[in-house]
Structure 1
Amino acid sequence: MKILRYLFFIALLFLLGTAVFVATQKPSYSVTKSLYIKNKRAVVFDYVNDLRNWETFAAWIVEHQGTQFKYPESSSGKNAHAEWTGSRDGNLKTLEYKDAELLRYVSDENGQLTHYTWQFKDTLGGTKVQLTAKGTLDFNSKIKAFFQGGVQSSMGNLYERTLVGLEKSISRELKTFQVKVMGLVNQPRVFYLKQFVRCKAKNLTRSIKTTLPKMQWFFKKNAVQTTGKPFIIYHKWDKEARVVDYSVCIPVKDTIAIEEGSDIAFGVLPPFKALRVQLKGDYSHLQKAWNKGIQYINTKKWARLTHLNVIEIYRKNGEDTPHPSQWMTEVYLPVQPTATRQPRTVIQDTVAVVTPNEPAVNSNPSP
């Protein structure tokens, strides 16, 4: 009995001593970790830049199930912002943005601040990604870190797992895709609200990923009822200037009056017959969907109706899932088939290589 009391007393002293020791340790930390990723710097930067993607690689997010995320107007770029609720409520916002070079963020979880600095540099065959995290830990977090080798070791391991997760996520999410030619469809007339966009051809994928969520946020913020999935109308591809004109659109039920001076406008998409091509995967593979469709049209010897605009309907996007490999986009190429019989052949093309180039957009479609 005395031995048990003695052991209990020793255990109590150990716990008290540990608590005092942990409480007197500095709550702040600063760790820097880096990793080489075999992918282009612009691709890696864009992936980190979109806060929706953090759900796929950030260890402190991936390893805590049940967290619910909310993305206000923009999830990427200079005004990127994210909020979450769960075991800990918090938010993350952009502090600094240098295209393809540097990103700085600050997160606030119940008053506990953490600053993140991402740096991107070209290397032979890939990109060097460096992540620096500076923050403070509350008492419970310090206790946990103590049994994991100390604050520096614990947080260092956390951010090492994050970088490894980033590498795996980019490889999985951006390289996995599938293209199918689905056949002829009759695209009905659609009322929609649109926002016109002009961007450099090389930035088309990035532009779509930025403007599409903003348009969806506009509908939520103004409680505008939609009748379908968002889509994009391509107006013009200026090959000499390397500039693309397009409109990001969302269907509505009836005509809507828009205030003068607004960058949002009302439009009507006329009905037309089109070849539907389906892409499952990241938008960087849209060129492959276009090319597969055009190849199919040429094989069938159908006439492309170049006076009509090509559209892309975003059946599943970042609003539905943070995983780009699961996004579903449909390309509608206006055609006049020479035969009335519906083609039944489904062509599949599954590739595992990222080659983001300019989509083969009709250079002179009607606006």
Structure 2
Amino acid sequence: MRIIKYLFLLFLLSLVAITVFIATQKGNFTIEGNKIIHSPKATVFNYVNDYKNWQNFCSWISTNPTIKTSFSPITFGKGSTLNWESPSNTGNLKTLYTKGNDSIVQKMEFNDASFDVFLSFKDTLGGTKVSWKSNGKMDFMMKVNTFLTGGTQNSLTKRFDKSLANLDKTLNFENNTFNVKINGIVKKLETFYLREAFTSKISDITRNANVVFPKIETFCKQNNIVLNGKPFIIYHTYDTIHNLTKVSFCIPIKEQIFTSQGSEILSGKLTAFDALKVSLTGNYTYKDKALKEATTYSTTHNIKTGSTFTHLEIFTRGQNETKSISKWLTEIYFPLQPKIIPKTFRPIVKDSLNTATAPIIKEDKSEF
């Protein structure tokens, strides 16, 4: 019995010694992981910037079936948040700011610990180099966990590396699965809409759409305006040489309204028109392939397009409808040039009883 008591006492002393050792260890840490993601930089940035996608690649979320996630109303960009909760841990991420398609700065709260998180994206041979860096201070339980798993660098770096591997695998499949379909000549029906128009770099269209569309939708909610379809973009000009386009970001509405003069958000009416329709299923970054196939089809079938604007894109199915990029659907309409009807000349016969001419009636025209 005495030996057992000594062993038990020795165990308690060892436990106290280990506890003191762990508690007195430095809590500050810096970890970093990086990996080449085999996808274009803009695609990788936009995917990571939206918290709805994190449950697909973030290792401490995707591998835990008990975790419940929730998001802020806007899930991307500055001020957006991701929250998770499970029996073993809780935490949240908040985006403090972003810079172009180059970097994201976040703040993470994990149980009682707090971390600064930095993500950078750089073009490189074969894709995009993503660097994921974090620094912060550990609480006691995190010190215990890292002591048992071989240190902070070992345990947390593994999570980063696993997450980046998941990101590469997910985007590799999703981004390489797409299809372009030529639907043929269709009739695009009349549409009332609200819009914000400006000149943009073609490469910035996705980023600008993520800002402008929610802005117009919020305006509609605040003014009880009924929406009537999916967001769309009208490309008035499309200069690929200078990477510039004059665009209108549009939200369709049920009834025509009139906005006040000087407002950033304007009302408009798109009159019905005949168009060549092309459907792109998959990542929006393959839009150039859809435009190229449309041009080839138009040339082969002698179809003249681009009379009033170059083309129109409707985001029929996107990130709000499905997490799978390969299932996104963008419908593209190219307005047809009106057919030229040869003029016919008829002799003018004067009516001696009625020399008055018929009045000329002018029709209202849309700005498009």
Match of 1:307 in 2: 308
Q: Per the alignment, do residues 335 and 152 of structure 1 end up closer, same or farther by CA in structure 2, a change over 3 Å counting?
A: same
Match of 2:318 in 1: 317
The 5-angstrom pairing of residues 94-243 of structure 1 reads 94-95=96-97, 97=99, 99-108=100-109, 112-219=113-220, 224-238=225-239, 241-243=242-244
Deviation of 1:315 after TM superposition, in Å, equals 1.2
Pick which of 137-146 and 199-208 moved more: 137-146
Q: Amino acid of the residue matched to residue 58 of structure 1?
A: C
Percent identity of the aligned residues? 33
The 5-angstrom pairing of residues 1-367 of structure 1 reads 22-41=22-41, 43-65=43-65, 67-73=68-74, 75-76=76-77, 79=78, 81-84=80-83, 86-87=85-86, 88=90, 90-95=92-97, 97=99, 99-108=100-109, 112-219=113-220, 224-238=225-239, 241-304=242-305, 306-307=307-308, 310-335=311-336, 367=368
Pick which of 256-265 and 204-213 moved more: 204-213
Q: Amino acid of the residue matched to residue 92 of structure 2?
A: G
| Conserved? CA contact 1:33–1:131, under 8 Å | yes
Deviation of 1:191 after TM superposition, in Å, equals 1.3
Aligned counterparts of 2:108 and 2:214: Cα–Cα separation in 1: 21
Superposition TM-score, scaled by structure 1 size: 0.75
Q: Amino acid of the residue matched to residue 84 of structure 1?
A: N
Q: Per the alignment, do residues 104 and 291 of structure 1 end up closer, same or farther by CA in structure 2, a change over 3 Å counting?
A: same
1:211 aligned counterpart, secondary structure? helix
Q: Per the alignment, do residues 32 and 334 of structure 1 end up closer, same or farther by CA in structure 2, a change over 3 Å counting?
A: same
Aligned counterparts of 2:302 and 2:45: Cα–Cα separation in 1: 42
Q: Per the alignment, do residues 227 and 40 of structure 1 end up closer, same or farther by CA in structure 2, a change over 3 Å counting?
A: closer
Deviation of 1:227 after TM superposition, in Å, equals 1.7
Cα displacement string for residues 264-316 of structure 1 (whole angstroms, at most 9, x for unaligned residues) = 11111111222322111121111222222333333333343522562211111
Q: Amino acid of the residue matched to residue 294 of structure 1?
A: T
Report the aligned-residue RMSD.
3.7
Deviation of 1:129 after TM superposition, in Å, equals 2.6
User: What runs of 5+ residues in structure 2 fail to find an aligned partner?
Assistant: 340-366
Q: Per the alignment, do residues 54 and 292 of structure 1 end up closer, same or farther by CA in structure 2, a change over 3 Å counting?
A: same
Q: Per the alignment, do residues 258 and 174 of structure 1 end up closer, same or farther by CA in structure 2, a change over 3 Å counting?
A: same
Q: Per the alignment, do residues 132 and 321 of structure 1 end up closer, same or farther by CA in structure 2, a change over 3 Å counting?
A: same
Q: Per the alignment, do residues 85 and 46 of structure 1 end up closer, same or farther by CA in structure 2, a change over 3 Å counting?
A: closer
Aligned counterparts of 1:111 and 1:218: Cα–Cα separation in 2: 39
Aligned counterparts of 2:134 and 2:71: Cα–Cα separation in 1: 23
Aligned length: 337
Deviation of 1:331 after TM superposition, in Å, equals 0.7
| Conserved? CA contact 1:22–1:146, under 8 Å | yes
| Conserved? CA contact 1:115–1:134, under 8 Å | yes
| Conserved? CA contact 1:56–1:323, under 8 Å | no
Aligned counterparts of 1:152 and 1:110: Cα–Cα separation in 2: 19
Aligned counterparts of 2:168 and 2:158: Cα–Cα separation in 1: 16
Pick which of 252-261 and 103-112 moved more: 103-112
Larger Rg: 2
Pick which of 43-52 and 251-260 moved more: 43-52
Q: Amino acid of the residue matched to residue 29 of structure 2?
A: Y
Q: Per the alignment, do residues 202 and 11 of structure 1 end up closer, same or farther by CA in structure 2, a change over 3 Å counting?
A: same
1:294 aligned counterpart, secondary structure? helix
1:304 aligned counterpart, secondary structure? coil
Deviation of 1:329 after TM superposition, in Å, equals 0.9
Pick which of 140-149 and 114-123 moved more: 140-149
| Conserved? CA contact 1:204–1:244, under 8 Å | no
Aligned counterparts of 2:219 and 2:141: Cα–Cα separation in 1: 40
Q: Per the alignment, do residues 241 and 305 of structure 1 end up closer, same or farther by CA in structure 2, a change over 3 Å counting?
A: closer
Deviation of 1:187 after TM superposition, in Å, equals 1.8
